[in-house]
Structure 1
């Protein structure tokens, strides 16, 4: 592509140097087309530049055994080579599955998104109570309950933009006055 662009460009320069007219020359149309294609390819080329350079370097120089770029994960190494360890691990996983299903195990399983400290002092019933209280609080602060309170309260109706920022500010002020 680049070679044909250079050939057409050289041809146009030759015609100009010779004093010939290049107004309706088909090589100009080819130049425009090739240049457009080359400009469209440029972002792709820049994205692949590292990989292309790496492959060219490997082809020219060859690979060395101590090359850090040649190190990669080998999934075959993760599989155990002995059958005994497979049997032991399968029985262990079955026993942990039984404990998890029964719910009697007090084993801490960390969350996958963010690490959280496991508190041993809180029992299961206490944590369930906390969860119920939290759900009740969320329900009471929901938009449905807010609308019902506004409808049946005798306080004058306030106009809001719908983002309830004023509600959270007034709640903060109320907590502040209660604390004082």
Structure 2
């Protein structure tokens, strides 16, 4: 089963930018390409690995499986934030893959994203933005984590996934969405 891309029927989901960093830092520099490694994440990225690599999660339990191997964020969020006066661009909020034409936050858990010729990423959940975002630009956290009209927490900082199939990912690569068998489970923070 395949989901349509966000927007008009002619719009297709594509990779806008790819980013990685071998050192712990909030932002990740854009790259000409990245390589995804099955069960590990982005080759050479500080967050790649079978077990958790995010510092807060390592502190709690370093043996946890790494459900945050790849961070994806939609460029439509960047556009919205820029319209509100924030200075954000691809990779600056820590994502590995910046997409366009795909409602990443609307995907269910277990969705498989076929990216480029070979890579496959399975969506595990939502990124849970932390206070470091306000260190990047004051007030940004409140734009990425808020509450809906019913008081429920809404997280807009992108999604996380694990790599199911190796592959190189480049800007301009198409993204094909394969939904899991229903019923679908909404994304939860991982």
Please state which band the TM-score falls in when normalised by the shorter chain: under 0.3
TM-score by length of 1: 0.16
- Larger helix percent: 1
Choose between structure 1 and 2 for higher RCO, CA contacts under 8 A separated by at least 6 residues: 2
TM-score normalised according to structure 2 size: 0.16
Q: Which has the higher strand share?
A: 2
Task: Kindly name which structure, 1 or 2, has the bigger radius of gyration based on alpha carbons.
Answer: 1
